[in-house]
Chain A
Amino acid sequence: MKTFAWFCIALAMTLVLITAPAQAAKAFKIGIVDCYSGPPAAYTNDVRDAFKLEVDKINAAGGILGRKVEVLTRDSKFKVDIGLSAAKELIYRENVDILMGTINSALALAISDMCRKEKVPFFVTFSKSAKITGAKGHRYVFSITENTALAGKAGAQGLAKRPYKKYWIAGDDYEYGHAIADGVWNNLQKIKPGVELLGQSWWKVGEPDFTPYITAILSAKPDAVIVATGGRDCVPFLKAAKATGFNERIPFFMHTATELSTLKPLGLNAPEGVIGTSNYFFYYPETAANKHFVKNFEAVYNRKPAVGAVYGFLAARYIFGAYQKAGVIDTEKFIDNVEGMWVDSPVGKVTMRAYDHQAMLPMFMGVTQKAAGYDFLIAKDIVTIPGEDVMPTIEEIKKARMK
């Protein structure tokens, strides 16, 4: 007991003596909590890197309203308790002005709730849960990424134009998988009432072998399949599709199948003919803004930007743009200015809807195909679906938040 007492005293003294963050008192701090270990890092690194590029530009021009911007990142290792602790450390100890993150939906929801209590603006950069700006939305949270409701509506619109009638749904058995499948299917039924669901297959996240599921689906002989996989399983599923020739037998739709992060690791061995939606391609649209963005990113980081880079870019433009407009570092004025604000981006003009704080990003639907000059597949026959067309109505948001 005595020794324990000594340890406690030593610990308490150490904690008290640990210096407060020894940074310049006047710095404007932005904290990012995200998963930088393991598979999700492939997506999250781009967000941070593109954001930092913009921060460097702002600092070179004198900072934001005279204050230098500092970016602090914390790795949540995809664990919610670690991420939540890190977010609290950033707010309580580092006193960040803005918080950003994360790809993990449970963590995003937890941090969103905390930011509501602490009145710190939180920009969600990758989590696709519709609850963030929907049922659990509030004044202090913003989303600059698409979510399952938007992606579902866009996917349905694209699929409705195709001749398929009998569908099968397959995917990861967790919230994201079910949400995106529901999003696509419910909207598809509304647009095209004749479609029929033959059956469903759900596998665990991180499933090592998809062959048994693929054979089960092939036996059922649907016209098309809606594949609802999360970031982790997109690549393995596409691999299994190629290995079993699935994509040549039955067409399937997978959200993010056409993204660079999904297709690059597979190289030229990715399956062709896969229908996918994505928020960004570095090769389309071939506007000056996009080309400029790609060039700058590649010059610094030596790789082509994937969709995360656009999210990082957008976050920066909204944050710094709104403070400039407000003219003062004040949270409430900042929020008032972000609402309804539009920014120019590599995908065109993007507006932040005032009611639910959801950025209205366009969706691009395409089909995977080999192309000359690339050692990975790209999307062809790209159709642009404007963000405004796929947003849930304000009535729907109101109803969701009432519950």
Chain B
Amino acid sequence: MSPPVISAPAIAAVVVGGLLLLVATVMALRPKAVTSSVGWLIIATFAYCIFGLAAAMQLRESDGLRAAAMQFLALALAVVLLLQYQPGPASEEAPRQGLASTARAVVWLTLLGIPPTVGFHAKVMLYRSLLSVGWGGMAALAMAAAAAGVLPALSAIGSRPPLPLRGARAVFAVVVIALIVILGIYPQPAISLAGLVQNLVKSG
């Protein structure tokens, strides 16, 4: 049986996504990139979204669009949580605040696709969609990048504690953390939302 023909848009999307993922992961792995590594991981997550779109371009029946939407949802929640931080590093003497440290850990967990966060389900859907169109190599690359991403996470989480979150920012951070974890434990609402996006795009 001859291998399936890959469409030109799908090839373009895969190449762009693959390069973006490689560059972002390598940049995040630099030893001095503790503060910027989360930014590079966000860019890498965009690459995962592109992979999902590429899978959808290759095979309309695949779950690629849904995986991309799910990945985007996980990314959006992580970025919203990240925006609650005050700019500037905390001093060594500043007391460690449990909420701020937890928020930082949850951002990393969801970006890396570690449960119990919604990012886990986004990653599983993405790997499945890549495998369903026969792109095992791209799935392996995506998993390897997720494995490599844990190294900057170890540096970042082990670094100085972030500034404490206060007032409305603290309340909002609690809500977003709860949302990320609840959707990680019970992912059906997120999956349904992603499915809705997929249907809208397909019907459009």
- A-B interaction: no
Which chain A residues have a beta carbon within 8 Å of chain B's beta carbons?
none
